Structure 1
């Protein structure tokens, strides 16, 4: 049974309920002070609490998709990571290989021309030497004869850490939301390239080019747009590309937009933070390089980089988010010709419920800043 599936959740709930009922039934029989009675009561309490804890954890993971599999939970994720042999293989040539398809959660999903299609792919980076799995959402218009000659804008969509790429279409419903925005006439059709920012799992690279390590920034800023543009009908210019993400993905999105205006016209950070995390999950990202650490500080970069004609969107909440002060600092430091917009909720935590409230207007904002060739 899969970690995110309903069967394992049902089994865990049934086990917890059964142990709770057994505790009520057997407690009177174990009311004595003998060692056997004490041991029985202890075993019942511990097993019931453990079963309830497991059921609650599985329910939370079922709702928010923190971990996509048992291997992911246990730290044995087998997803493709960094390629060290740069002279041969996929990483040397670069490209996109489709390994499967997923039906979008959208009306008419049985037919691509009505509901679109999600391709499960492996993207191989020539410059970075990184292979990473991703999901490419192609809107219905991509398959319609009326748009056969059209080149579409594309948006890189990033999860938080340690999220899975499946979070983006199962939990956060990006394809479904994009489909609804287009049908409502509030957004243009866009290709969504959905993946996690962790391109060298289980390490959190913070979208940094690590010395003698994963070249994550190069993968996202160079390899990924180039490979997708060569595989799908997607434009190659900055005006055709945007990037959006939540939490760690939000930091990465803003970082990529700020440092690569030649590649991305717009970037949106939902509940983003503004300095690269450094903790046991990241390892040593900078190896004592102060310039690299300062560059990964977005507030510092806004003060010390020449402004470009980029667009930024940042989101926060007056109550429930920890990034309100720094978000206001980011807004204050953006200088023309760059532009900045914001979504500030009255209340909302660092969770899927909040991001689902922000994604529809964020996609509309993104649509208004990208063009199709």
Structure 2
């Protein structure tokens, strides 16, 4: 029974109700001072509290998908051994393996020409030596004869930390939203490459290249676009690529867009922060290298770059509910031509999936307007 299954959730809630009712019903009988009565009361209270705690935890997890499976919850490694197997699933590049496909949550899901397709892949970085799984959403047009020779713009989509890539499909609904925006005539068809920035779990690398450690920035900024362009009909120029993320993923998107304008023309930070976190989850990111620490500070970079890139940035915040409102205003003020900055500022909205779902449709429209297919 899966961690996120509705059956398991219902079972936990039913057990919580049963134990609560049993506690109320049996309490008078257990009011005696005997050892058995005391143990009975302790047992009922413990069972009730545990089942209530599990039920609340499952509701929260099903809403926000902190953990996508039992293996994820208990920190077990996943997707082992798939890269050297499944030769038939290998795409054009030897650095990517398709390990599965699934249907997008849109009408006509059984037909790729109507709904598109989602590939689950494992991407190996040539330079970074990092290997990570991702989901690649291919729009319906990708499979239609009229677009057989067309290259599509692509967008890298990042979760927050720790995050699971399934969040991007189930809770943030990127494929469905992209499909709806195209149908509404608000966006062009785009390929979405969805993954979490935690490519060296459980460490939060803040998407930087760590000395003698994970080269996360190289993986996301160089390896991933190159492999995807070799394997799918995606252009290899900056104007063909965008990047978007929420929270930690938003910081990563803005940082990679700022420092790699030759790879990405447009970057979106949903509820982003603007300086690399340094805490127990990150470990020592910079090993005393102040220049590397400064480079990971977007405000410092904007102030000290010889020339800001000819790139576009979109940042989002809320006047009430977000902690990044003031910093976002400061970031916007520091962006100078030829760079361009746009914003989505909600009256209220917390640091959560509901807020980001309100921003993603407009963010995808914005990305679409700044990317080209060739």
Please give the TM-score of this superposition, normalised by the length of structure 1.
Answer: 0.95
Q: CA deviation at 1:79?
A: 4.6
The residue aligned with 2:364 is 363
> Counterpart of 2:245 in 1: which secondary structure?
strand
Q: CA deviation at 1:269?
A: 0.5
In structure 2, how many angstroms separate the alpha carbons of the residues matched to 1:281 and 1:332? Answer: 31
CA deviation profile, 1:305-339 (whole Å, cap 9, x unmatched)? 12011100001111111111111111111011100
The residue aligned with 2:74 is 74
The residue aligned with 2:325 is 324
| Range with greater deviation from structure 2 (273-282 or 148-157) | 273-282
Q: CA deviation at 1:138?
A: 0.3
The residue aligned with 1:263 is 263
In structure 2, how many angstroms separate the alpha carbons of the residues matched to 1:314 and 1:79? Answer: 33
In structure 2, how many angstroms separate the alpha carbons of the residues matched to 1:248 and 1:350? Answer: 11
8 A contact 1:94–1:223 mirrored in 2: no
Verify: 1:106 aligned to 2:87, yes or no.
no
RMSD: 1.5
In structure 1, how many angstroms separate the alpha carbons of the residues matched to 2:292 and 2:76? Answer: 30
Q: CA deviation at 1:80?
A: 5.9
In structure 1, how many angstroms separate the alpha carbons of the residues matched to 2:177 and 2:77? Answer: 29
The residue aligned with 1:87 is none
Q: CA deviation at 1:282?
A: 1.2
> Counterpart of 1:368 in 2: which secondary structure?
helix
In structure 2, how many angstroms separate the alpha carbons of the residues matched to 1:197 and 1:5? Answer: 25
> Counterpart of 1:40 in 2: which secondary structure?
helix
CA deviation profile, 1:104-127 (whole Å, cap 9, x unmatched)? 001111100000000000111101
8 A contact 1:80–1:131 mirrored in 2: no
Q: CA deviation at 1:8?
A: 1.8
> Counterpart of 2:243 in 1: which secondary structure?
strand
> Counterpart of 1:155 in 2: which secondary structure?
strand
Q: CA deviation at 1:94?
A: 5.8
Query: 1:154-169 counterparts in 2 under 5 A?
Result: 154-169=154-169
Q: CA deviation at 1:231?
A: 0.3
The residue aligned with 1:145 is 145
Cα 1:94/1:340, change in 2 over 3 Å: farther
The residue aligned with 2:61 is 61
> Counterpart of 1:335 in 2: which secondary structure?
coil
In structure 2, how many angstroms separate the alpha carbons of the residues matched to 1:124 and 1:117? Answer: 22
Q: CA deviation at 1:24?
A: 1.3
Q: Number of paired residues?
A: 364
Verify: 1:121 aligned to 2:90, yes or no.
no
> Counterpart of 2:14 in 1: which secondary structure?
helix
CA deviation profile, 1:206-261 (whole Å, cap 9, x unmatched)? 11101101100000010000000000000100000000000110010001001101
The residue aligned with 1:308 is 309
In structure 2, how many angstroms separate the alpha carbons of the residues matched to 1:160 and 1:77? Answer: 19
Structure 1: segments with no counterpart, 5+ residues: 84-89
8 A contact 1:80–1:132 mirrored in 2: no
CA deviation profile, 1:50-94 (whole Å, cap 9, x unmatched)? 21011110111111111111222122233569x9xxxxxx9xx86
> Counterpart of 2:203 in 1: which secondary structure?
coil
In structure 1, how many angstroms separate the alpha carbons of the residues matched to 2:192 and 2:39? Answer: 56
Q: CA deviation at 1:101?
A: 0.1
The residue aligned with 1:281 is 281
The residue aligned with 1:245 is 245
**Structure 1 residue ranges, 4+ long, deviating more than 4 angstroms after superposition:** none
Structure 2: segments with no counterpart, 5+ residues: 84-89
In structure 1, how many angstroms separate the alpha carbons of the residues matched to 2:275 and 2:46? Answer: 42
The residue aligned with 2:87 is none
The residue aligned with 2:201 is 201
8 A contact 1:313–1:342 mirrored in 2: yes
Q: CA deviation at 1:36?
A: 3.4
